[in-house]
Chain A
Amino acid sequence: MTLTINGNQMDIPNTITNVQHLLSHFKLEQKSTVVELNNEIIEKSAHAEQALADGDRVEIVHFIGGG
């Protein structure tokens, strides 16, 4: 499956079928992140149910230093 994650197109193993899997794949499950799928925010509680499809655009953001 091909996803566009944070602006980069990448191939993802087909075992990854939902947002929670995706975060685990990149070892981000313990991180404080917010996920947006095709311009829609996916609440943490919905990560496991939110299916991913070929061509999806995923944004994974977090807090960094700022004023």
Chain B
Amino acid sequence: MLRKEINDLLTQTNAGTPMGDLFRQYWIPALLASELPEDDCAPVRVKLLGERLLAFRDSNGEYGLIDEFCAHRGVSLWFGRNEEGGIRCPYHGWKYDVNGNCIEVPSEPEESGFCEKIKLSAYPLIKLGDILWTHMGDKDNVPDLPKWEFATVPAEQTYSSKRWQESNWLQAMEGGIDSSHVSFLHSGGLKSDPLFKGAAGNKYNFNDKKPVFEVVDSEGGLYIGARRMAEEGHYYWRITQWVMPSFTMIPPRGDHPVHGHFWIPIDDENCWAWSYDYHPTRALTDQERQYMIEGNGVHNQYVPGTFRPLQNKDNDYLMDRDAQKRGELYSGVWGIAMQDASLQESMGPIVDRTKENLVSTDNGIIMARHKLRKAVNALTEKGVTPPGRDTNHHLVRSVAKVLPKDQPFSEACADDFKAEVGKPQTTV
């Protein structure tokens, strides 16, 4: 259960809200780099943290993320012409550069200097890995560039996708740190998904469906450990990383690429579910990359030409009752990503947490909410920099490991948790 005032605090991220201010402390994923593939290409409408924005790439290859609407009469600049160093409003020809500066008002005498008085809001947009990142906070207090390993390994080792999720960001993110649902909802995927199946550790998931959880503070957020029975005298540990505000890394399975998510609010009732897969020491195979493109693992298929999942609430997520009955798909929905999204969207646009009944296996969720609330309050009341902004907090790995029963994972896996170039992942 979460009190209404705290639920409101954590789920509302528009400009001027405390949680919105927290998100604006970080570099967040804004677009796939492939959405702006070349200089002077078509601009892209972007909505983040409740703000309507326009992303474009100018004639010099500079990326810009500015207010979507022209300062003159409020026309959407998405209809504009991206040409000669700026985006030009098609209505009366006002033109803006990547920093939101108005650089031309054709109807006014050039010498009047009128356009110098016009400026749209603008945020930095930088390419790191296959993603364009933005920082929507204080321009005088920009954090160092992100160091997430998936975004800094060579291009052939990483793959990212994004999908529109029709729910608030928090219930989506909570799914990513709720390891207890894996034994049920995703049980079919461990046997059939080409990016999950075949790992030696999977047998422990099948044999022990009642994992016990240990949630431990980390510098950037939490380690969420799930232990299952392994061979005599040993436990199989799967330790998820959660780094504030919304980064997760799921433990690896065998030599499969490791994956995880960012959940970024579009507005209070929609979010982007960013999904990445990477391997820290080798290139993804063509087959693996193809599986990802086809929507396997944590990725999904799309309504053509959109980032809306092919399986969505308008078609009941293409629910397959026969497969559910046969036991192939626990919920009848195909694919790990849409198994999660279908249920999280079914909770409603913003779930009312005052009515939920949590149990002790929800400790990860309880702790994450607690840490978010404290960070929001510390930022609002004292200006304290929140965890996860320090780029050292980005250099993390999730871990799958068999340990002697009396060995705490926080001690035994201390080195495994650190991302280092060329270091093999710790996996079973």
A in complex with B: no
